[in-house]
Structure 1
Amino acid sequence: MDAGFFQELADNVSNGPTPFVNRAELRAEVVEERHVRIVLPLGQLHRNHVGIAYAGSEFVLAEIAGGTLFMATYGTDEFVPILKSVECAYVKPGVKDLHVDLALTEQEAQDKIALARERGRGDYFLDVPVLDADGEQVALMKFNYYALPAKK
């Protein structure tokens, strides 16, 4: 994977194939091999009826960051990720800009995709902490993505 591929992934965070996600105003600060950092500016669009971060916005941030990490780790030629299930734990109210910073070692990346490679498809588990601007955890999303074979 080259720098152009990572730039395309970064661009897709805010200008990709899903119009709803594009409206979220997410910002990719880092997209490199096995590492992503995605930011959600906590403006009016993402505040709920009591002025804190809307749970759905936190979910979108975490899900897009996890999917981007998958593609920044494995590319897009072998597998594509789809979401199979998620467990959301909202730890404390988000009142500042939010971000997700995810990285995998080479060994972690190999271990996570091993079953899918063995079977040609399969589960891929990823815990995604959502942090505020001070680095405090506001949520934890436990994702079960499903790695499907990429269409060739």
Structure 2
Amino acid sequence: MDQSVLEGINTLVEQAIPAARAMRIQITDLGPGHAAASVPLEGNTNHLGTLYAGSLFSVAEILGGAICFPTFDVSRFLPTVKTVEIHFRRPATTDVTAKATLSQEVIDRVTADAEATGKGEFILEAELTDTTGQVVATTVGTYQLRRMG
């Protein structure tokens, strides 16, 4: 995705979600069916000096909304989160990147459901890795695309 578009999405995220701005979460890659975001260790540590669990959760959860912008018609439908489950694998001692994808089959189903009923639901799995590529956490979230108005 074009860097200026990413900057615009990050500005939108910072304005809409002040906590994401405070954690310095950044969308780093975004396109139809895929999204990635990062969170720095600095400023997001816990009492042990590792990345705070809430920051890990937030960088993964934000992907469910971000992925909708290039994937679905957000001029008519907006995303909302229903559930997210996180599994911590190991302490994160570096910056972390979260990545998630949606298959074309899921995109087509959600689009059809949203058009037909005003809402479409999808499951988004994210993997969170440190700067060495080690998986520090995984998430499974249920999101819903809802018709505006």
- Could you tell me the TM-score, scaled by structure 1's length? 0.83
- Say whether the 8 Å CA contact 2:6–2:29 is kept in structure 1: no
Q: In 2, distance between residues paired with 1:11 and 1:37?
A: 16
The answer as to 2:13 corresponding to 1:34 is no
Q: Does 1:83 align with 2:81?
A: yes
CA change 1:143–1:10 in 2 (3 A) is same
Once the two structures are TM-superposed, the CA of residue 26 in structure 1 deviates from its matched residue by 1.3
Q: 1:71, CA displacement in angstroms?
A: 1.9
CA apart distance, 1:5: 5.8
C-alpha contact 1:84 1:146 (8 A) present in aligned 2: yes
Q: Deviations over 1:49-106 (max 9, x none)?
A: 1111111000110011221012221131231111111111111111111001233343
Alignment gaps of 5+ in structure 2: none
Q: Which amino acid aligns with 1:66?
A: G
Aligned amino acid, residue 37 of structure 1? A
2:65 is aligned, of 56, 64, 67, to 67
Residues in 1 aligned to 2:138 and 2:111: alpha-carbon distance in whole angstroms: 21
Task: Report the RMSD for the aligned CA atoms in angstroms.
Answer: 2.3
Instruction: Select 1:135's aligned residue among 117, 133, 136.
Output: 133
**Whole-angstrom distance in 1 between the partners of 2:123 and 2:101:** 14
May I ask how many residue pairs the two structures share in their alignment? 148
Please say if residues 10 and 30 of structure 1, whose CA atoms lie closer than 8 Å, have aligned partners that are also in contact: no
Which residue number corresponds to residue 90 of structure 2?
Answer: 92
Q: TM-score, normalised by structure 2?
A: 0.84
Residue-by-residue CA offset, 1:3-54 (whole Å, 9 max, x unaligned): 97665324324x32121221111122222333322111111x2111111111
Q: Specify the code of the residue in structure 1 equivalent to 2:105.
A: Q
Structure 1 vs Structure 2: percent identity of aligned residues? 26
What SS does structure 2 have at the residue aligned with 1:88? strand
Gaps of 5+ in 1: none
Matched-pair contact (CA < 8 Å) for 1:66–1:128: no
Matching residue of 1:144: 142
For the pair 1:56 / 2:87, whether they are aligned, the reply is: no
* Residue identity in the other structure for 1:91: R
